[in-house]
Amino acid sequence: MSPNAIITHIATLQTTHSGPFSDGLFPSYRVQPHWLGYRRADNNVFLTACTVFTLQGIRDQVSPESQQQIDQITEQATADYPLFRNKDGLNTYNFWPTRPSHHFPNGRVLGRFDHFRIPDDIDDTAMVFLTSPPSRETLLWLKDKLVQHANRSQLTIRNTFPEYRQLRAYSTWFGKNMPIDFDACALSNMLFLIFQHNLPRNQHDTDSLTLLADMVRSGRYVSDPFRCAPHYARTPLILYHIVRLLAAFEPPELVTLHTQLLADTKAQLALATHPMDRVILSTTLRRLGDNPPRLDLVGIEQAFPTFHFFIAGMLTAYEYPLLNKLAASSFVQMRWTCEAHCRALVAEYLVSLPT
């Protein structure tokens, strides 16, 4: 198994014909194992953008032929991004197509009700702009938009630890009627965009980094990952995102946590049972400068259908204490799977290995 062969395979997965997925997107599925085998084709931009971002991150470490394939994949994927742009033409992005709205596609119930239509969010917006950089003017507009929806700009978060309620960190959602929401992984992605383009820093950036740092320092991201990242909800995923940000830009708030992040990642790798968790944790260790034993990837493809990179908590947005407590249950969470993204994560791991 080589990164170049994986990239060639990923290129074959990109949609180029009519069907449940827009041309240029990678097939992904939302699943709920507790709901009588619920599995639906899901036409979303996020997992395609995540796949492209991962491939772009390893572009300089693969063959010229693979570099060309990555460029072609990117061109085809980004051509679809306008389908997911804000319904009023603003420069934010949604998980699903917006004009017209097509939330919970190929479902039988949820897509029929506007109540389940979600607003644009920082995660999709960050991934779209990281893989298809906009103008400086657009990025500065986005920075101001983030401030408008940050904690305490208009609303104050309720569904977090009391110590974090005064932090003016960025919220996950852009919707004006959505409760404030802190998610360590989504914050890491937006901060990655801000650092990548050297956007002006403010108190919201500082508080967002302070939030991430305390989630690590306090150990909460290990003991209570759902409350730290309700849309990812697992410690290996939080580690992967925070360390990716740390390795790329070395923000001082995170640099001081290197020793703890290294120890926690090693501990999580020792506990990991899913092969793809071992992949992303091993990549994370290498980003931290460690050299874990090489993984046996024989048969890794069999693990792709059960690996979810993020979740949707059906009760996460509610601020009522009982509903918020129930939101952590896997029975009220949907999960997304994507073969192309799994393969990209494996390729990312392989290029991290010493030659």
For residue 43, with 0-12 CB atoms within 10 Å meaning exposed, 13-18 middle and 19 or more buried, which class applies?
buried
- ∠ CA(350), CA(352), CA(355), 5° rounding? 85
Q: What whole-number distance in Å separates Cα of residue 326 and Cα of residue 163?
A: 22
DSSP at 107? -
Q: What are all long-range contacts of 146-154, with beta carbons under 8 Å and residues at least 24 apart?
A: 146/122, 146/170, 146/190, 146/204, 147/202, 147/204, 149/173, 149/174, 149/176, 150/204, 151/180, 151/182, 151/207
Q: How many domains does the chain have?
A: 1
> What pTM did the predictor assign?
0.93
pLDDT of residue 37: 74
State the residue range of the domain holding 264.
3-352
- Please state the φ and ψ torsions of residue 311, each to the nearest 5 degrees: -135, 165
State the pLDDT at residue 313: 59
CATH number of the domain to which 42 belongs: 1.50.10
* pLDDT of amino acid 155: 95
Let me know if 112 is exposed, middle or buried by CB neighbors in 10 A (0-12, 13-18, 19+).
exposed
Q: Are 284 and 276 in contact (CB under 8 A)?
A: no
Tens-digit pLDDT string for the chain (355 aa): 899 999 999 999 998 876 889 999 999 999 987 656 788 999 999 999 999 999 999 999 999 999 999 999 999 999 999 999 999 999 999 999 998 675 565 555 554 445 455 899 999 999 999 999 999 999 999 999 999 999 999 999 998 999 999 999 999 999 888 899 999 999 999 999 999 999 999 999 999 999 999 999 999 999 999 999 999 999 999 999 999 999 999 999 999 999 999 999 999 999 999 999 999 999 999 999 999 999 999 999 999 999 999 997 555 554 545 445 555 555 557 899 999 999 999 999 999 999 7
pLDDT of residue 320: 46
- Terminal Cα distance for the chain, rounded: 15
Whose tokens are 């925070």? That residue is 242
Q: How far apart are CA 329 and CA 327, in angstroms?
A: 5
Structure tokens at 43: 């036409």
- Residue type for 66, please? S
pLDDT attached to residue 17: 75
